[in-house]
Amino acid sequence: MQYALEGSQALARTVALCRPQVIAAYPITPQTHIVENLSKLIADGALECELVSVESEFSAASVVLGAVAAGARAYTASSSQGILLMSEVLYNIAGLRLPLVMTCANRAVSAPLSIWNDQQDSMAVRDAGWIQLYCATNQEAVDTTIQAYQIAEQTELPVMVCVDGFTLTHTLEVLDIPDQEQVDRFLPPFNFERGLDPSNPISIGTLVSPDYFTEARYDHHRALNNAQQAIVATAAAWGTVCGRHQDALLGVDGPQEARFGILTLGSIAGTLLDAREQYQGSPATRLLTLRAFRPFPADAIREACGGLTDLVVLERALSPGSGGIVGNEVRAALSEMHDAPRVHNFTVGLGGRDVPLDIYPRIHEAVRAGSGIPFDILDLEPHKLPAAG
């Protein structure tokens, strides 16, 4: 059914439809009101679930780790500094192959202190061994959250659903919230075969000597790569249930004959779609929206880049001393491609800086002026910089 809802509200209702049994969260900044809304649903009796309000994100992640290990469907959400405080536990959740779903409401990481949107937080834990799916709209966030439980429980890998903080979480818009019956049909009750059981005690997370550590890590790497198939199949299956097309690994929009492409992830995608219509004088442009960042869909990216001479990777994070994070990975993937496009890498929208429509002609202009831009911050305002030290 269609509603006009704020992103956080929509996500809370969607999580509730997935029937989590345990939710643990640190309730204040940098929390969003996803868990606040969930706590209301529980207090109102609309959701039967154990809510554990904890004193830190480290504890939140630890509680849901234990809950999933004991066979419960669980949920948590955080962002920014909270994600970093969780990071040790995030590695453990992944390494233990626990099928948890969490929302990262993407926000900048301090210092300087910022409460606003960029994607530095989830990028900082890209190597934790989680599946990471980025959402371009609140509708995608709703649909992806439901799919995330199925992907997690099929692959026994945790899934982080990345949703741009404020830009999506605090924006009210029109979206469809599926029926409980649709979600129940799609998402059977969680039955964790490795779940801890007092009548059949086992130990998990024990010491692994060098004899086996490499194999455990490789097995995890292989599982993440293989998860691409589950992501694709789940998107198709949910598409059949909800009647909406679901991009799985990445979305491709624009003419096949285009020679210019822009790859981005998250909510900038919609602005670029509108801008392409508005600035028709710019060269024909294919827009690629990366949904799965982990596993990294190198084959799908190469295929989507066929025929391009220039590809701009536009991202909302920065690896100081190196440059773009996604840009470097795309460049590495395309190095194995015959007739690969030149890759230009721009960071924009750090710490909540607005990404306006005219970013689109500015991208075209910057690429026209340069000959292969390794990395630049496109919306930098140089007059605000201190003198170089």
Partner 1 sequence: MIEIRIHGRGGQGNVVAAYLLAAAAFEEGRYVQAFPNFGAERRGAPVTAFVRISDSPIRRRCQVLEPAYLIVQDDALLHLPDITAGLQAGGPLLVNSNRDSAELAARLDRTVVALPASALAQEILGRPVPNTALLSAFLELTGLLPRAALIKALGERFHGAVLDNNRQLVERAAAQVSAGAWQEDEHAVRA
Q: By the criterion CB under 8 A, which residues form the site for partner 1?
A: 3-4, 6, 115-116, 164, 166-168, 170-174, 267-268, 270-271, 273-275, 352, 354-357
With a CB cutoff of 8 Å and minimum separation 6, the contacts of 14 are 141, 142, 145, 146, 177, 178
Give residue 291's identity as a one-letter amino acid code. R
- The first and second tokens of residue 96, run together, are 């233990």
**Angle between helix 210-242 and helix 80-95 axes, rounded to 10 deg:** 110
Closest contact distance (angstroms) between CB of 177 and partner 1 is 13
- 44 versus 211: smaller Cβ distance to partner 1: 44
Closest approach, Cβ 83 to partner 1, in A, equals 19
Q: Are 137 and 60 in contact, with CB atoms under 8 Å apart?
A: no
Count of CB atoms situated within 10 Å of the CB of 302: 16
Identify which of residues 255 and 356 has a Cβ nearer to partner 1 in the complex: 356
Return the number of the residue (155 or 271) whose C-beta is nearest partner 1: 271
Backbone dihedral region of 174: left (phi > 0), alpha (psi from -120 to 50 degrees) or beta? beta
Which tokens sit at 149? 């439980």
Which phi and psi (to 5°) does residue 138 adopt? -70, -30
How are strands ordered across the β-sheet holding 310-315?
A: 250-253, 285-290, 260-264, 310-315, 342-347, 376-377
- Phi and psi at 349, nearest 5°, equal 65, 35
Handedness of CA 112, 118, 120, 125 (dihedral sign): positive
Calpha distance 185→182 (Å, rounded): 5
Q: How far is the CB of 293 from partner 1 (least distance, A)?
A: 19
> What CA–CA distance (Å, rounded) separates 180 from 247?
23
Minimum distance of partner 1 from residue 37's CB (angstroms): 14
**Minimum CB–partner distance for residue 354 and partner 1 (Å):** 5
Q: Given the complex with partner 1, which of 116 and 192 has the nearer CB atom?
A: 116
User: Residue 223 CB, nearest distance to partner 1 (Å)?
Assistant: 34
Cα–Cα dist 297/305, whole Å: 12
Residue closer to partner 1 by CB (options 173, 376) is 173
Integer Cα distance of 251 and 134 in angstroms: 11
The Cα–Cα gap between 282 and 369 comes to 14
Q: What six digits make up the tokens of 323?
A: 């440059």
Burial class (CB in 10 A: 0-12, 13-18, 19+), 197: exposed
Name the residue nearer to partner 1 (CB basis): 134 or 296: 134
In the complex with partner 1, the residue whose CB is nearer, 150 or 289, is 289
The nearest distance, CB 82 to partner 1, in angstroms, is 17
CA-angle at 380, arms to 377 and 382, nearest 5°: 130
Measured from the CB atom, the residue of 164 and 310 that comes closer to partner 1 is 164
Complex with partner 1: residue 4 or 380, whichever CB lies closer? 4
Rounded least distance, CB 246 to partner 1, Å:
16
Choose between 63 and 162: whose C-beta lies nearer to partner 1: 162
State the nearest-atom distance from the C-beta of 315 to partner 1, in Å.
15
CB of 272 to partner 1, least distance (A): 9
